[in-house]
A and B are shown apart, each in its own frame.
Chain A
Amino acid sequence: MTNLPPPSGQNGYQPQQPAPHLIDSPPPQVGDIAVLDAGVPEENTHFDPSDAIIQARGLTKQYGTLTALNQFTLDVPRGSIFGIIGPNGAGKSTAFAILATLLRPTSGTARVCGFDPIADPKSVRRRMGYMPDVMGVYDRLTVSEYLQFHAAAYKVPRSEWPELVDGLLQLVDLDVKATASVDRLSRGMKQRLSLARSMVHDPDLLILDEPASGLDPRARIEFRELLIALQDMGKTILISSHILAELQQMCTDIAVIEAGNLLASGSPQSILDQLGDGRRVRVTFADGSVEEFPVADTIEQAALLKRLVVDDQRDVVEFAEVSTDLEGLFLQITQGIVQ
């Protein structure tokens, strides 16, 4: 199933058991929807895990008594746009920092682009681009010089810089700003430049931590289109965001995280199916009454319609599936826990 090494501390860090209070506590319940046990998400069945570009197994990060991440297990399919949703303090940035070779987990193992981010961070960095949630800029440096600097830091041969920088600036639509000072750019432009920076070494994987935060609607739409274009270029994108509608529109896969626990993961529809209290249809009758019925699939929908119209002889004027969006689902399954 997985080619991850056993969690035995071979990579220099010893896996530990999760905090006892987390093991002992019952799985959180929200309304009448059962949330997945911490650390035991549903298997993502729509792809072969051996094709995962990121494989995380039981990642836990503790700061003293605070558990920032608890038994985080995730497979990110190659070529996907994988969104991580969670409220502030959910552990998204902690998970990203571990996968991006910045942070050492308390326990658990991970493979990023086939390499261990703890034991072999350089190999991971060579294949991964990381964009933190806040984009820092240098004073007195032009946009081109900023990218050239990072190209040099990634050891891209100097002869390739002009073509590389031009190409990246065109991709992120900043070519007209090539000679502008970085610190004079708007926030949206800085975010796009930061994305270009994370791609100077042509990585297979992009880890983007809240890239759309603080952007106006237009900049957000442009950024989303840019990410879809990157996916078309064969990049895998792991992205976190608060803006759920946005993730729903572009992500092929989604994971929901809260208080360090992974609550669900899979394609947006599979999560909706998995956790969204099933599919429902809303039926409006001729007398003006409205009723909702749970249905598992279209066959059940047809059976329901037959029962209402043929068997019960009721006058149905409207029969429509109730759409459940990610935002509603998110509010249902998370409790707003802030650590």
Chain B
Amino acid sequence: MSAVSALFQNMNPVLDRELRQRSRSAKSVMVLTLLLVSLTAVLYLVYLAWDQDNQFRDPLQNLSAGIGAIMFEVVLFAELGLLLLIIPGISASAISGERDRQTLIPLQITLMSRGSIFFGKVAASSAFVLLLLIASAPLLAIPYLQGGVSLFRISMGFLVTLVTGVLYATLGVACSAVFRRTQTATLVAYVLVVGATIGPLLAVVVIEIFQSLNGDFNETSTWPLYWNPFVGVADAAGELGRNFDSRGPFSSIKEELLRPDRNFDGFDDGFVNSSGFPRFLLSLAAQASFVGFWVFLALRKLRLPQGEID
């Protein structure tokens, strides 16, 4: 038996069933189409804007490299934003939907452990995230062909976006286990996504206010930003030191929001912070700790026998 065959033979039953069902669902195709159309539109708008801004510039200048870098960052930024919008919608009904359809109890009394059921659901949602990313990968090839962005940065951006997507898919599945109703689970999942995006920014502002009130005018610590889903991807995909004209959103985030590390190291174009630890890994670890808390709650909720049946 080959390794691939063995993998399929021993596939998690929940993952196997979910993939089967998802592949037959019109909703999956619609979501995929919507994502690709949106990203194509974003890519085209970036090109139009760039073209309009630069039509009177010296044609001998190498403008292509600039647009390539910006296109890459804008498309990845939009993709991450869209994924954060899509993921709670596809993952927060994973377990509560089973509850609604009265299929959860027959599943729970099988010999599958609660962990196996939970991670089957997470794997199914993550597989869909991977499908969305792979389907949109050709759109990242256009910036690469334009130049100005290395294959390494594209790969790093892609990988960290994938891991971030998996983390938020896990969060959605956890919400669907913790909350009885799908509507509640979905709402909470969206609130958590928005909270993780805006919360760290607010925290930094609050810290800054407290520092200035105390007469401390040093650079504000930006450690809360590690919980922001965009920061890890910005660190992996952004590039410090770019001139303003060819700077995309991730380079700007990296430049502006990770100031304390720059002060420490002077010019820093790598991934490591002042302690020599990759910042994107710190960010993913911070997000994983947040998601891990919800996974803990979810697994507790799925334990049987319970004091009360949902």
A interface, CB within 8 angstroms of B: 63, 97-98, 100-104, 117-118, 121-122, 125-126, 130, 132, 134-141, 145, 149-150, 152-155, 158, 194, 197-198, 201
With CB as the reference atom, state the residue of chain B lying closest to A100.
B109
A10 to B305, CA, bound (A): 16
Contact in complex: A155, B25 (CB < 8 Å)? no
Contact in complex: A138, B21 (CB < 8 Å)? yes
Contact in complex: B307, A154 (CB < 8 Å)? no
With CB as the reference atom, state the residue of chain B lying closest to A145.
B20
Question: 9 A-B Cβ contacts within 8 A?
Answer: A103-B307, A103-B309, A125-B110, A132-B106, A136-B98, A136-B102, A137-B101, A141-B17, A153-B111
Contact in complex: A102, B109 (CB < 8 Å)? yes
Contact residues in B for A101 (Cβ distance below 8 Å): 109, 304-305
Contact in complex: A155, B17 (CB < 8 Å)? no
Contact in complex: A149, B16 (CB < 8 Å)? yes
Report if B191 contacts A (CB, 8 A): no
A130-B106, A140-B24 as given contacts; A104 in contact with B307, CB under 8 Å: yes
Shortest distance from the beta carbon of B14 to any chain A beta carbon, whole Å: 8
Contact residues in A for B13 (Cβ distance below 8 Å): 149, 152-153
Contact in complex: A63, B308 (CB < 8 Å)? yes
Contact of B101 among A125, A130, A138 (CB under 8 A): A138
Given A117-B305, A140-B24, 11 other A-B contacts at CB below 8 A? Answer: A102-B108, A103-B309, A104-B306, A104-B307, A118-B305, A136-B104, A136-B106, A137-B103, A140-B20, A150-B110, A154-B111
Contact of A136 among B101, B112, B309 (CB under 8 A): B101
Report if B206 contacts A (CB, 8 A): no
Report if B107 contacts A (CB, 8 A): yes
Contact of B16 among A100, A104, A136, A152 (CB under 8 A): A152
Contact in complex: A140, B305 (CB < 8 Å)? no
Contact residues in A for B304 (Cβ distance below 8 Å): 101-102, 121
Contact residues in A for B109 (Cβ distance below 8 Å): 100-102, 125, 130
Contact in complex: B309, A102 (CB < 8 Å)? yes
Contact residues in B for A141 (Cβ distance below 8 Å): 17, 20-21
Interface string of B91-120 (1 = CB under 8 A from A): 000000010011111111111100000000
B interface, CB within 8 angstroms of A: 9, 13-14, 16-17, 20-21, 24-25, 98, 101-112, 304-309
Contact residues in A for B102 (Cβ distance below 8 Å): 132, 134-136
With CB as the reference atom, state the residue of chain B lying closest to A198.
B106
User: How many inter-chain residue pairs (CB < 8 Å) link A and B?
Assistant: 83
Contact in complex: B106, A140 (CB < 8 Å)? no
A158 to B5, CA, bound (A): 12
Shortest distance from the beta carbon of A153 to any chain B beta carbon, whole Å: 4
A136-B103, A141-B17, A149-B17 as given contacts; A121 in contact with B112, CB under 8 Å: no
Contact in complex: B306, A140 (CB < 8 Å)? no
Contact residues in A for B9 (Cβ distance below 8 Å): 158
Contact in complex: A125, B305 (CB < 8 Å)? no
Contact residues in B for A135 (Cβ distance below 8 Å): 102
A63 to B307, CA, bound (A): 9
Contact residues in B for A201 (Cβ distance below 8 Å): 111
With CB as the reference atom, state the residue of chain A lying closest to B108.
A102
Contact in complex: A140, B309 (CB < 8 Å)? no
Shortest distance from the beta carbon of B282 to any chain A beta carbon, whole Å: 38
Contact residues in B for A134 (Cβ distance below 8 Å): 102
A102-B309, A103-B305 as given contacts; A139 in contact with B21, CB under 8 Å: yes
Shortest distance from the beta carbon of B242 to any chain A beta carbon, whole Å: 48
B16, B17, B105 pick with most chain A CB within 10 angstroms? B17
A102 to B114, CA, bound (A): 13
A136 to B101, CA, bound (A): 5
Contact in complex: B110, A153 (CB < 8 Å)? yes
Contact residues in B for A197 (Cβ distance below 8 Å): 106
Contact in complex: B101, A122 (CB < 8 Å)? no
- Sorted nearest first, the 8 A-B pairs with minimum C-beta distance are A136-B102, A153-B110, A136-B103, A152-B13, A140-B24, A136-B101, A104-B305, A134-B102
A126-B111, A139-B21, A141-B20 as given contacts; A150 in contact with B306, CB under 8 Å: no
With CB as the reference atom, state the residue of chain A lying closest to B26.
A140
A132-B106, A137-B103 as given contacts; A102 in contact with B21, CB under 8 Å: no
A102 to B14, CA, bound (A): 20
A63 to B21, CA, bound (A): 38
Contact of B309 among A97, A194, A198 (CB under 8 A): A97
Contact residues in B for A63 (Cβ distance below 8 Å): 308
A121-B304, A138-B17, A141-B20 as given contacts; A153 in contact with B105, CB under 8 Å: no
Shortest distance from the beta carbon of B266 to any chain A beta carbon, whole Å: 57
A153 to B18, CA, bound (A): 13
Contact of B106 among A150, A155, A158 (CB under 8 A): A150
A63 to B101, CA, bound (A): 25
With CB as the reference atom, state the residue of chain A lying closest to B99.
A136
B108, B109, B112 pick with most chain A CB within 10 angstroms? B109
Contact in complex: A103, B101 (CB < 8 Å)? no
Shortest distance from the beta carbon of A53 to any chain B beta carbon, whole Å: 17
A25 to B9, CA, bound (A): 59
A118 to B303, CA, bound (A): 11
Contact residues in B for A132 (Cβ distance below 8 Å): 102, 105-106
Contact residues in A for B112 (Cβ distance below 8 Å): 153
